Structure 1
Amino acid sequence: MESNPFGTSMDENSANLPQHLHVDVVIIGAGPSGAVAASLLHQQGKCVLVVEKQHFPRFSIGESLLPCCMQFIEQAGMLPAVEAAGFQFKNGAAFRRNNQYTTFNFTEKFTPGPGTTFQVQRGQFDKILADTAVSQGVEIRYGHSVNAIDLGENQHASPVLTVTDEQANSYQITAQYVLDASGFGRVLPRLLDLEQASSLPSRSAIFTHIDDNITDANFDREKILISVHPTQKDIWYWLIPFSNGRCSIGVVAEPHLIEHHQGDLEQQLWQLINEEPGLKALLSQAKVVQECATLKGYSANVSTLATPQFALLGNAGEFLDPVFSSGVTIAMQSAQMAATTLVKQLDGEQVDWEQDYAKPLMLGVNTFRTYVQAWYDGRFQDVIFYDDPNQTIKQMICSILAGYAWDTNNPFVKDSERRLNMIVDLCREQTIAS
C-alpha cells in the first residue's frame, strides 16, 4: 500500500501523498460503523483505508447506546477501552406520560446477549473507537473528503475515489470495495443519486447539553428518560444522563409544532420543556453548557443499500428516528454484516449483496420502523404505559428496546406489525374495561 504505515491517523499536511493508492477496502467515515467495520476487516487481513472528513473528537448525537451494540464493540476488540472510559452505566429505559411512569430493565429481556451498556458523549466515544482501530493497525486519514467516485463500466470494475485534503491536495484511491459509513453526510447516496424520500413524516429535533443539577432522589441516572408532551402525544423529549453531572436533552416534533414557539433555539427548547411538568420540575436548576442545535428532516432512505462494488452502513443508508436510540446499533449491526459478507467476496466466494446483506439488515430496520411508527400514532405508547403487562410479552418488547431487532425467535420481531396490533387491542380493551 502506497501510503502511511498502517496503524496511523493522518491529521498533518498531506502535500506529499502519492497521487494514486490501491487498497482492498476504502471506508468513508470513522464513526462507529466505520471504525467497527475497519477493525473487523483488518482482523481478517484486509488492507483498509478510512477517509474521514472531520477531525476527532467532534460532537454527535445518538448518545444512549443499546445493549445489542456491545457485542459488536467486543468483536472489534474495543470493549476494554470503552469500559475504561468512565461512561455512564445504562441498564434500561424509563418512560413518562402525564402521571404515568414505567421502566424497562434491559437485563429482563427475551433475547440472549448483553443487557447493559453506556450513555456516552459521542465525541469521546467515537474517538475511542477510532483510536482503538488505529492501535490495531488501521489507517485513518482525518480532514480528507471524498469528492467523486467512478464505478467503471460494470459491477466487476474496481471503484476509483477522488479524495481531497484540507490543503486542496487531490489524489485517487482504487479499491476492490467501498463502504460508506459517512452517517448524515451520506456521501455515496449524494454522489450516486441513491437518495429517496423516507416513509416517515418529516420531524425536527432541538437539543443541547446541560449541567442538570438534578436533586430528585428518584431520578435514575442509569436509564434514558423518554417523556411525552402532556397534550401532543407525538412530541417527545429525551433526557440522557452522563457520568459527569451533565445530560443531553432534546425535543422531537413535526416542524410546525416547534416553529410556533418564539425566540431562538434555546428559547424554543425551554418553552417546550416547560410544557411538560415533570421535566420542568426535574430541570428547574439546569444550566445550558453547549449551544443548542437542530436537526431537521433527518429520516432518510435509499434506492440501493449494496452492490458488488459498495455498501451503505448505518445512517448513510437509512435513518429512522431517535426515539428508541437505534442509530448506533443499526450502524454497528450493518458494519458487522457488511464486513462478514465482504470478507467472503474478497476471498473469492460468490455473494449476493441483496440476500446476504440488504435483506437481513432491513429485517431489523423494519422491525424498528414498526415500533417508531406505532410510537407516533399512539399504539406503542398504549402498550408501554399499560399498567398490568404480561411479563413474557414485556420481555419480548424489552428485547427490541435493547436493540435485538434481528432476533427472529422473538415473535415481536418475526411478525412485528400483527403481533403489536394484537397487544395494542388487548391493552386498549383492558383499559376500557377497567
Structure 2
Amino acid sequence: MNHTPSVTQCSQTDIDVVIIGAGPSGSIAASLLHQQGKRVVVLEKMQFPRFSIGESLLPCCMKLLEEANMLDAVNAAGFQFKNGAAFRYQDQYTHFDFTDKFTPGPGTTFQVERASFDKLLADTATEQGVEIRYDQTVESVDLSASPKLTVRDEDGERYTIEAKYLLDASGFGRVLPRLLALEKPSSLANRSAVFTHIQDNIGDKKVEDKAFDRNKILVSVHPKNKDIWYWLIPLSDTKCSVGVVGEPHLLGDIEHNLQDLLMTMIEQEPSLSYLLSDAEVLRDCALFNGYSANVSTLATDKFALLGNAGEFLDPVFSSGVTIAMQSASMAVKCAVRQLNGTQVDWEKEYCAPLMRGVDTFRTYVEAWYDGRFQDVIFYQDPDNKIKQMICSILAGYAWDETNPFVHDSQKRLNLIVELCK
C-alpha cells in the first residue's frame, strides 16, 4: 500500500515573504528583505553545495552584492579575478576591459564555481538572520487569498506555509511557471550547451598569436560556422570551465558520449585546441538543452518571478546571474512598499523596468547569432567612446538609460553595424 503523507497546517501567518530557491537571486532577495525588518522563509529543494552553471559574473553584480551586505564575504573568498571579456574568431582577437566603460560603477568582478559561490551567499544570508530550509519541494501553490504553498520536507512529510507575498527564485526549476501554467515560448532559437570542468594545463601557452588572459572569459567563434561558439572561463590558476554552444543539429550526437562530442568540437577551433592540448577532464560532461525560456506574467500583487524563473536568454554574455540579482533588488523594493501598505503597480514598477535591461541584453544576443554584433566586436578600428558604451552593457549595466546603446539599443546597434560595413 502506498503511503501518502498527511498535510500539516502550519500556523505561520507572521511570515511576510516566502522565497522559492536559495540561489543568488533568492539569497540576495532574502537578505534585502531581512534588512527591511521583514520575516522571510526560503525554501530550497537541494542541499548546498550543489553544481550549477553560470560561472562568469559581470561587474554590475558587485554593487548588488554590496547592497545585500555580501560583498566583503565574496571578496574574501578567493574567487578568480575577472576584469573583462575576450573574443576570438579565426585569426582575430579582441578584448573589452570592463574598467574602461561608459557607466560608473565597479569594473571588475569574479569567475566562480557556482557550488561554492551560491553556498557562500546562502550562508551569509543565514548569518544575517534569514531562515533557509533545505530539502524542501514546493508541490502546489494556492493564490486564492494570501499565497499558500504545499511543501514536502526532507522526511517526505507535507505541510503548508502561508505568507503575504511570494518570490520565485527557483532558477531553471521554474516552479511557479510550471505550477501556474505561465510558460511561454522564447523568441530565441533552441540551442544546447555541452560543458565540463578541466585541469587546463595551459601553462606558458601565451605566445602572441594564441593570446589568453586568465582574468577574462574567452569566447571563441567556430572558424567555419559562426552560429557555434565556445566559452573558456578560468576558475583558478589551473582550472577552467569549458563549453560549446549551438543548435543541436550543428553540434552532432548530443544523446550519447558528451565528452567525445565536446573534445571533437574543441579540436575544430585551432586556437582553443592549442590552449587545451594538455587538458584533463575533471568531471562528467553535462548537457544544458533548450535553455531559453519565457513567461506570460512576471509579477502580480501575489508573486514575482526572479531571474531564470522568469526569462532566460542565452549564456553568451553571462547575463543570467546579473539579471537574477537585479530582479531580486527591484522586486524587493516593490514588495517592501506593498507590505508597508502602499499599492504597487507591479507591471509598471517591476516588470517594465526589469525588462528594459533584459531587452537590451536580448538585442545583443540576437545580433550575436545573426552575425551583426560579431561584426561589431571584431571591427578592426573601433571608436573608443562607442566601445566604452558597448563595454558597459557587456559589464552588466544594461539598465543605464543614460547610455545610448541601452536607451535605444536596436537603432544604435544597427547604426554601428552599418558604419562597420
Which TM-score applies when normalising by structure 2?
0.96
Residue 384 of structure 2 corresponds to residue 379 of structure 1: no
2:8–2:160 contact (8 Å) kept in structure 1: no
Residue 236 of structure 2 corresponds to residue 243 of structure 1: yes
Give me the whole-angstrom Cα distance separating, in 1, the residues matched to 2:322 and 2:11: 34
Residue 95 of structure 2 corresponds to residue 107 of structure 1: no
Which TM-score applies when normalising by structure 1?
0.93
Structure 2, unaligned runs of 5 or more: 1-5
Q: Describe the SS at the equivalent of 1:350.
A: coil
* Distance verdict in 2 for CA 1:300–1:387, change over 3 Å: same
Q: Tell me the alpha carbon deviations over residues 362-384 of structure 1, each in whole angstroms, 9 at most, x when there is no partner.
A: 00000000000000010000000
Give me the whole-angstrom Cα distance separating, in 1, the residues matched to 2:305 and 2:337: 17
Give me the whole-angstrom Cα distance separating, in 1, the residues matched to 2:261 and 2:291: 19
Q: 1:69 aligns with which of 27, 50, 61?
A: 61
Residue 153 of structure 2 corresponds to residue 165 of structure 1: yes
Look up the match of 2:12.
21
Q: 1:206 aligns with which of 187, 194, 213?
A: 194
Q: 1:355 aligns with which of 348, 357, 381?
A: 348
Look up the match of 1:12.
none
Give me the whole-angstrom Cα distance separating, in 2, the residues matched to 1:259 and 1:145: 35
Deviation at 1:259, TM superposition (A): 2.1
The percent identity for this pair of structures is 69
Look up the match of 2:28.
36
* Distance verdict in 2 for CA 1:150–1:262, change over 3 Å: closer
Q: 1:301 aligns with which of 285, 294, 314?
A: 294
Q: 1:78 aligns with which of 62, 70, 77?
A: 70
Give me the whole-angstrom Cα distance separating, in 2, the residues matched to 1:96 and 1:129: 33
2:212–2:218 contact (8 Å) kept in structure 1: no
Look up the match of 2:177.
189
* Distance verdict in 2 for CA 1:170–1:278, change over 3 Å: same
Q: Describe the SS at the equivalent of 2:139.
A: strand
Give me the whole-angstrom Cα distance separating, in 1, the residues matched to 2:360 and 2:7: 48
Q: 2:360 aligns with which of 353, 356, 367?
A: 367
User: What amino acid sits opposite 1:398 in the alignment?
Assistant: C
Q: Describe the SS at the equivalent of 1:363.
A: helix
Residue 135 of structure 2 corresponds to residue 143 of structure 1: yes
Give matches, 1:31-430, under 5 Å.
31-152=23-144, 157-215=145-203, 216-217=205-206, 218-260=211-253, 264-428=257-421
Structure 1, unaligned runs of 5 or more: 1-14, 429-434
Q: Describe the SS at the equivalent of 2:16.
A: strand
Equivalenced residues, count: 411
Give the root-mean-square deviation of aligned CA atoms: 1.5
* Distance verdict in 2 for CA 1:200–1:83, change over 3 Å: same
Give me the whole-angstrom Cα distance separating, in 2, the residues matched to 1:262 and 1:349: 52
Q: Tell me the alpha carbon deviations over residues 183-227 of structure 1, each in whole angstroms, 9 at most, x when there is no partner.
A: 000000000000000000000000000000002134210000000
